[in-house]
A and B are shown apart, each in its own frame.
Chain A
Amino acid sequence: MLEAILSALSVLLSVKGLLCVSLGCVWGLILGALPGVGGPTGLILLLPLTFGMNPMIAMLLYVGVMGGSPFGGSISAILLNVPGTPINAATCFDGYPMAQRGEAGKALGISATASCLGAFFGLAILIIILPIARAVILAFTPPEFFMVILFGLATVVITSRGNMIKGFISGGIGIILSFIGFCNVTGGVRYSLGTDYLWDGIKLVPVFIGLFAISEAIKLSVDKKETISERGVVFTRLGGAWEGFIEVFKHKWAFLRGAAIGTIIGIIPGVGGVVANFLSYTVAVQLSKHPETFGRGNPEGVIASESANNAKDGGALVPTVVFGIPGSLELAILLGAFILHGLVPGPALLKDHLDLVWVLILGLALSNLIASSLGFFLIKTLVRITTVNVTYIIPAIVVLSFTGVFAMRTELWDIFLAAIFGLFGYGMRRHGFPLVPLVIGYVLGAIAEKSFHQSLMVAYGSYTIFFTRPIPVILMILTLVSLCVPFWLSRKPAKGE
């Protein structure tokens, strides 16, 4: 363990390492502040550029973005009432009213402090859990693994707000897309339409860039907005950042509660930051002596929301590193980056590349520290990005995406595929089909199939293996319960009705 930590520190503290974390962090801050663009797009645009880089250095760039984007998102949430990323949505509730009454600096100070400390809290929990994780890994054989994936997908679907059926459809399509090309169990080629291009399956980069970056460019064009935000910027009393720093310590219990909720939600496979953000805010309102002040600029609201959405990264790294199941969209892309760099996510990563895991942990901590420090000094400048005319943003996204996709494999048809997925992604969003289950289904589909067939091989073709072992049975019950809970909640009459 100590050897791995020292090896990770040597990479992180090298000139290249520090530069990569800082660059990634600034990139994440900028894109995080752009509503609708956010950290996932920032990570996706980096994928082609990092191909060929040392995997550890590349990972530092990625964690830099992951550390910077949540705080970047809170900047536009507080100043414009437009969450830069979905995980900052609850920050708007109290952050924007604070900005409206001239306390923007204080709100941003709270956000910077709570984000950074929240991330440290989540990572500390991850460090505590890591040694136990090895024992957990040994208990997880293919049937357990298959059930964990099912449970992860189910939780993603039930937490995608709105029509659950559409969530299931989205997940199903994502899994089916992962089946295109060579079957990693039988070696047969599926759905290649007779072209060599599809033999190796659909590549991650064009799918991700199409679904998020190109579809966002199409959406911005169709929406015909002048700027990403049309509300203008509140530039009042930004110097109150220090007051915000003090405020977090005044409300230490609100912070600790938010960070704990964020970490726990992060650990549940496939749930992610939006849930952590809203749940933490809801609990803060429920436990407050003055719930009526929430939504009117209560600092506790910002503390609860921001501490949870940064703490969830540490928690979400647990299923990602231990099982190879992404805890959030960003981590699904990070898993894609692992694969691009020839690393196998999951148990093998923890066994064979422990130094890389430590690079992720330490890099994420450093990136959060840099993001919050930069936040204190660069708030005024960063905020102006959200007022750039979309006329310049849209072509920049398209050109950068197409060039990036081509640079990845010098394969021109990848650009066509990205354009197709862009149109498809726009259609999905327009008609209310959530993209997150699709992406997570796409990333996990092939792994689920492999685990399923391996389980059958172990059991000589008998499906009873999924019903006779304790962990798969518990996971199956949890999956069924998590699928039934939303229906039960929706039928339960609200208080006072």
Chain B
Amino acid sequence: MKVQSKDTLYFTLLLLAFILIIIIMSLGYDRETRLMPLLIGIPTFLLLALQILFQFYPNLQNQFEIDIFSPAGAGKEKNRAQEKSGSLLFPVALVFSYFILLLLAGFLVATPLYLLTFFRLQGKLSWLKCIFAAGIAWLLLYLVFSVGMNFILFEGLLFGGRL
């Protein structure tokens, strides 16, 4: 059986697993506490299961591709999901690396390092431009938050910061 889009299938399975965990956890709570989560969770779970079925039977999905303002525009969603683009790994890795750097070294060290890495690897800027742009951003961050707002930015676990 041919799958319409493997990426969408995996993402929908992930959502299904999340809702399933919520439903299972809800069963452990008292009647009133679990009532609404189950009322919302079970239909959402069933709709997700239906969505997974659509991945194997695309014709069935067309019945629900409805655009009330332009019936001719129905089905655009599918095309958007199928648009191909660059790798997701690098930008996501950069965002999470920035968080880890923040945790370890704090804002005033992590921010210029993140910016340098981003400008050099993603923007392909020259070293001079990278250092200049990162320096300006660092200065703005320091002036606005530390000096202007007298706000204590996290120093990082390596420099005495506490969670």
Contact = CB atoms under 8 A, between A and B. Distances in A.
A218 B11 contact: no
A183 interface: yes
A485 B141 contact: no
A161 B163 contact: no
Contacts of B66: 158, 162-164, 486-487, 489-490
Interface residues of B, number: 78
Nearest to B67: A161
Contacts of A2: none
A236 interface: no
Interface residues of A, number: 67
A475 to B, nearest CB: 17
A168 B47 contact: yes
Interface of chain A, main secondary structure: helix
A452 B92 CA distance: 40
B60 to A, nearest CB: 10
A275 B67 CA distance: 11
B122 A176 contact: no
B131 interface: no
A312 to B, nearest CB: 15
A169 interface: yes
Interface string A355-391: 0000000000000000000000000000000000101
Contact of A453 (B14, B25, B29, B32): B32
A54 to B, nearest CB: 16
A224 B86 contact: yes
Interface string B77-91: 110110001111011
A223 B86 contact: yes
A15 B74 CA distance: 50
A431 B7 contact: yes
B10 to A, nearest CB: 9
Contacts of B80: 432
A56 B109 CA distance: 36
Interface string A416-455: 1001001100110011100000000000010011001100
Interface of A: 158-159, 161-166, 168-169, 172-173, 175-176, 179, 183, 185-186, 188, 190-191, 214, 217-218, 221-224, 275, 278-279, 282, 389, 391-392, 394-396, 398-399, 402-403, 406-407, 410, 412, 415-416, 419, 422-423, 426-427, 430-432, 445, 448-449, 452-453, 485-487, 489-490, 494
9 contacts: A165-B54, A169-B44, A169-B47, A185-B33, A221-B90, A395-B137, A399-B137, A431-B81, A432-B80
- Give me the 7 closest cross-chain CB pairs, A-B, nearest first: A172-B44, A162-B77, A391-B123, A221-B91, A432-B77, A188-B33, A486-B66
